[in-house]
Amino acid sequence: MGYFNYKIIDTDGMPRGGLVELPFDSPMSAIAFLERQGGTVLYANPLPNWLGSLVGMVGRFFEAKISREELAEALTNLSVMLRAGVPLLSGLRDTMASHDNPSLAKVGKEMVMRIENGSSFTDAAKSYPRIFPDIMLFLTRLGEESGSLDRTIKDAAEHIRRIDRIIKDTKQALIYPSFMFVAILGALGFWIYIVVPTMKGLFKSMQLDLPPLTVWVIDGSMFVMENFISIVTGIVVFSMLFKQAVRRIQPLRLKVHGVYLKLPVVKLIINAYNLAFITEYFRMLVNAGVDIVRSLEILGEALGNEVYRTRMARVRSSLFQGLTLRESFEQAKLFPSFVVRMIGVGEQSGTLSDQLGYLAEEYRMRLDRLVANIGKTVEPLALMVGGGLFALMAGSLFAPLYQLISKI
């Protein structure tokens, strides 16, 4: 994949040119492709790697996002066309290359180019890891080898839809806690910017002896007001640096994700999401014919939570030591006994895929219930935090007034 600066004389004899991204590295391949589109190519010079990367970053920043639902719909339509006997290239042109989403259409056109130059569907899709998940690549590879590409593409589309539903349910579950957090910050800002300065002026005019807590609250509020921009800038910079550190340093990422699993409410959402994701992904890999050890390796790479990723690696290591799948999950000490028992039943009866399907459905339902009841779950915690801050602010500011009134 590279960017080329080209100039061409079209069929009307008019010169045109510009920058174009093509799935080729050599100028000869780019020239051959451009001439197949019609016209005579005068030149097609590849951009330097650094400049091509810069242009690509800018382009990705402005390009439309491809949703999982759009991708699943395009794959389903492609599967239907393949089952009806439509050639793969024609199906790609009609489903992806002509999609309403310009980013997906661009990917479809590039995949058509790659396949025309000898790549398989899987190899073409592999060039877009941000769009096509690993499980889809495994399924399509098996479909190409067995001659059932239409069925495996449909299975991949259904899997993407289920994962999309799990992710959307998780995000929906986080909406209410985020709203409560913003509301608490808003109330705190009101006290700092409106109430505290007024009370400070009142205390000064009355020449009251203020208790230490009141002095601390007033001084802290005034410091925030005077250094607001610096504080916000520092928080943003620290957040960005901390995010990069968590992303790059595995021990730190493990500790941070471990803290997430100990927070009230948050741990419920993370556990439900990860167990739904693991069982759904594991089921698809087993159904695709991928062996257990390789499935666990792929699954571990796909997980976002480092604690679960580490435990999946421990499960895989236990299998190498000769333990059964149930014993391996049991030793990981993270998965509920219910999950371990169901996996053991599937392992002994040869119905592992079915049992994983039951587990995936169960945890999707639990995530649905969690979304429905998240307000009731978060409300006590929000009341404790908000009420505690309100009591601290109110008590510190009104205590001197109560002392004055009692003296009068």
**What is the DSSP secondary-structure string of 223-245?**
HHHHTHHHHHHHHHHHHHHHHHH
Position 256 scores a pLDDT of: 92
pLDDT confidence tier of residue 80, bands split at 50, 70 and 90 = very high
Residue type, 386: G
> Which of 24-38, 168-182, 197-211, 230-244 has the highest mean predicted lDDT (pLDDT)?
230-244
Mean pLDDT score, 341-355:
87
Position 79 scores a pLDDT of: 92
Position 286 scores a pLDDT of: 82
Q: Which residue has the higher pLDDT, 90 or 379?
A: 90
Does residue 50 carry a pLDDT above 70?
Answer: no
Q: Which of 27, 393, 68 minimizes the C-alpha distance to 214?
A: 393
CB-based contact 21:33 (threshold 8 Å): no
Summarize pLDDT for 93-115 with one digit per residue, the tens: 888 888 888 888 888 888 888 88
Q: How far apart are CA 179 and CA 170, in angstroms?
A: 15
CB-based contact 156:148 (threshold 8 Å): no
CA 64, chain centre distance (Å) = 16
Q: What share of the chain in percent tops pLDDT 70?
A: 88
Q: How far apart are CA 23 and CA 108, in angstroms?
A: 12
Position 238 scores a pLDDT of: 92
Q: Any idea what DSSP says for residue 48? A: P
CATH class of 173-408: mainly alpha
For the chain, the structural domain boundaries read 2-62, 68-162, 173-408
Position 331 scores a pLDDT of: 87
Tell me if 68-162 shares its fold with 173-408.
yes
CB-based contact 178:93 (threshold 8 Å): no
Q: Name the architecture of domain 68-162.
A: Up-down Bundle (1.20)
Does residue 64 carry a pLDDT above 60?
Answer: yes
Q: How far apart are CA 120 and CA 144, in angstroms?
A: 8
Q: Helix 250-260 and helix 266-287: axis angle, to 10°?
A: 120
- Mean pLDDT taken over the chain: 81
Mean pLDDT score, 124-130:
83
Label the pairing between strands 15-22 and 40-46. Answer: unpaired
Handedness of CA 157, 162, 166, 169 (dihedral sign): positive
Q: What is the DSSP string of 292-357?
A: HHHHHHHHHHH---HHHHHHHHHHHHHHHTT--HHHHHHHH--S-HHHHHHHHHHHHHT-HHHHHH
Q: How far apart are CA 353 and CA 341, in angstroms?
A: 14
Q: Write the CB contacts of 277 (distance below 8 Å, at least 6 apart in sequence).
A: 163, 166, 302, 303
Query: Given its phi and psi angles, is residue 55 left (phi above 0), alpha (psi -120 to 50 degrees) or beta?
Result: alpha
CB-based contact 346:147 (threshold 8 Å): no
Q: Any idea what DSSP says for residue 195? A: I
Q: Edge-to-edge, what's the strand order for the sheet holding 15-22?
A: 15-22, 2-9, 40-46
Mean pLDDT score, 343-363:
86
Position 293 scores a pLDDT of: 86
Tokens encoding 139: 């399924």
Tokens encoding 138: 């495994």
Does residue 339 carry a pLDDT above 80?
Answer: yes
Q: What share of the chain in percent tops pLDDT 90?
A: 6
Q: Any idea what DSSP says for residue 209? A: -
Summarize pLDDT for 281-291 with one digit per residue, the tens: 888 788 777 78
DSSP reduced 3-state for 63: coil
Residue type, 261: L
Position 24 scores a pLDDT of: 67
Q: How far apart are CA 8 and CA 16, in angstroms?
A: 6
Position 81 scores a pLDDT of: 92
How many helices and strands (H and E) does the chain possess? 18, 3
